[in-house]
Amino acid sequence: MTTMLRFVGLLGCLLPLGIHAQTLPDFLEAAVIESPVWQRASIDLRKAEAKLLEAQAAFDPTWRLSDRGKSVGANLSYRYQDVQWRIPALGGVDLYVGGQWGQGDWMNPESALPASGLVAAGISVPMGPTLWFSERQQKVTRARWHYRMAEQQWNLTRWDIQRKALDLYLTWSLKVAAQEAYASSWTYLDAQLNMYRQAFRMGGVSQRDTLDLFAARNTRKSQALQSGWEAQTAFEKMSSFLGLPIDSMKAWQPMELEADTWLGLPVPVAHSVEAFP
């Protein structure tokens, strides 16, 4: 059932854009689910949990019931019943509660019991160090430590995968933002260049050197194309990290980045065209 739920969740993460764009949490979850390292850590955690439950089972109360007898036709030769309830306590201490009942003409005299039977209670206390450090207690302690270590490794593995996935997603988001900014500046400069050319044809005076504007427009065009290729490359790395093909970048929504996030990075510092010459 758990495997089916994970498959459905992963399928929802990887569906093309139809209902809503996939975001960073979807990518992080898909990266974790599809990671063989995390799957192995999950298996180790389940094994450690099973070992812990097995060790703790030594402290579960147990019942022992014995019922034996013999009859010939409707005549009962003998019948002997024995019931015992064992309650393990801390250390090597055990508590016992039991009862015995027997009847029949052919009952062994050594096993003869009153008509009402016998009920007994007792305690078993080992002598020496096993009173405090019993084998079953040590097994529980070892199993608990192994479980904690496996759980910690499981968490560390998940965090490490998400950290790497976040780095890939952030890189792709920066490339997409750079592409959009360069493309916006390219469009803005292209519109300015066309406007100045029209004004020049109509006999007006250009407020800016059209040659410089033409060079700036071509520079932004080249940067937009280059950043688009870099964004596609970054997206392919995301797909490779998942180990599954992702159809299109359009199905994913880049991170919303503030201007301060861009500082120190080789990308524009703002989305607005005013930030470009």
Residue 26 pLDDT > 70: yes
Question: How many CA atoms are closer than 13 Å to the CA of 243, on its beta-carbon side?
Answer: 9
pLDDT, residue 199, reads: 67
CA angle 234, 26, 33 (to 5 degrees): 95
Average pLDDT over residues 36-52: 93
User: Which of the two residues, 252 and 147, has the higher pLDDT score?
Assistant: 147
pLDDT greater than 90 at residue 200: no
Query: What separation in angstroms does the CA of 260 have from each of 170, 185, 264, 269, 271?
Result: 14, 20, 9, 8, 12
- Look at the block and give the residue holding tokens 């993460």: 13
Single-letter amino acid, residue 258: E
Say yes or no to pLDDT of 109 above 60. yes
pLDDT at position 271 over 50: no
Asked whether the beta carbons of 130 and 207 are under 8 A apart, the reply is no
Select from 100, 104, 47 the least CA-distant residue to 72.
Answer: 104
To the nearest whole number, what is the mean pLDDT of the chain? 77
Per-residue pLDDT, 18: 37
What confidence category does residue 224 fall into, taking pLDDT thresholds of 50, 70 and 90? confident
Note the pTM of the prediction, 2 decimals.
0.64
- 3-class SS string, 128-183: CHHHCCCHHHHHHHHHHHHHHHHHHHHHHHHHHHHHHHHHHHHHHHHHHHHHHHHH
Q: What is the pLDDT of residue 1?
A: 42
